[in-house]
Chain A
Amino acid sequence: MTGAERAGTVYMSEPEKELPVDELKHLVSERALTGETMVLNMGPQHPSTHGVLRLLLELDGEEVINCVPDIGFLHTGIEKNMESKTYMKALVMTDRMDYLNNLGNNLAYCLAVEKLVELDVPPRAQVARVILAELQRIASHLVWLGTHALDLAAMSLFLYCFREREIILDIFEMCSGARMMTTYIRPGGLWRDLPDGFEEAVRAFLKLMPGRIDDYEAMLDKNPLWLDRTQGIGVVSAEQALGWGLTGPALRGSGVALDFRKAQPYSGYELFDFDVPVGSRGDVYDRYKVRMEEMRQSLRIIEQALEALPAGPVRSNNRKFVPPPRSELGHSMEALIHHFKLWTEGFSAPKGAVYVAVESPRGELGCYLEGDGGPKPYRVHFRTPSFASMQVLPVMSKGHLVADLVAIIGSVDIVLGDADR
């Protein structure tokens, strides 16, 4: 049965075809072939691989000689599926890609579409996007901190982090009606205006959060176990990190101040004043410190953005690309036609390809979008940070213990949905 036929029919739980061992021999050292070292399979169902990551470990005792990540257990076919939908409808797929950074994915895709069709976004929507993206960054870092600490046996932090995360999810729910899959950022602006009470909710959060971040740090930084298990573990130098395509907090932990919010500002990030924290040693502890500081910087950005939030429309007025407000449908024939055209056929984008890079909580999230003149994207590719940074796991983990490998995986902050797409 060909793959295509198999894709069209239902899955049968047939016995797996065994992988010929010869195909894997080049991945392990000579010592493994003689039985001197042990080859161990970790995952795909393992509590500390943050999802369905499978690692092929070559161990000498408890020391990791080599580690070969095997991904694809969450491959969803998002890129192919987006090719069959119109530009507007394909947006729904992006939410489900990196499920801790839903609004950030929306933003990357929308920026790409807006660049492709040359669509302007009103200032209120731009600032609102910044607020939402930064809230999402904090929420994502909270999940990272909770699970990372949980992996290193600091369970209480998980409960605290998720408590604060719920506040952010409540704000998202207030805006869009959904906790996670918001699809709130649309090409041309936002789905609808920010609701009443949004600013108060965010301000309350801003007031609460700095103390809570201090609490988290106090809990971990004075914990000798935490320090022992993070300091000096998983060191990666700046050159190595760049060569392996590491971006985001993991790269900044090694001392390279690359942040696409600063380097290539999008959606009005250039208006706000914030620092890019960097580490010096490039170990697990530095990456942790960078992320903690990033949460504080995100709060700073949100605070400035709330002050700067202008009044006005949140959707572009270009009716060829953005549907008209519902209130106009009752009395404007033109609005009705536009509405009908946009939701049935969709808008067409010119022939050409654009690449937009945004800073996701995990690193550079790039969207390569190619149009062919029709209403559907010809090719969408997401350059996802988790995919890129998972390659560096073997470099980081060589010579460490299996227990440290858990800390290293946590510190790179991978999301398997992001890596496999």
Chain B
Amino acid sequence: MDMIHAVLYIAGALMMGLGALGASIGIGILGGRFLEGAARQPELIPMLRTQFFIVMGLVDAVPMIAVGLAMYVLFAVAG
């Protein structure tokens, strides 16, 4: 494997890994805040649940793009 291919694989891995890291931090904070809110006011759980899912869609939209780009680099450019 030459140097260019090695760097491309590292780039793809970094894209996926850093995207996953960002998403996991975001979803971890989101889940923690949801539990905090649910413990504080259990009667608001239905409303919090909806917001929780919507914000999750926002949090992992950008890492999903990173996954798509990483797959392109890994399978189309390097592969």
Question: Real complex partners, A and B?
Answer: no
Residues of B within 8 A of A (CB): none
Residues of A within 8 A of B (CB): none
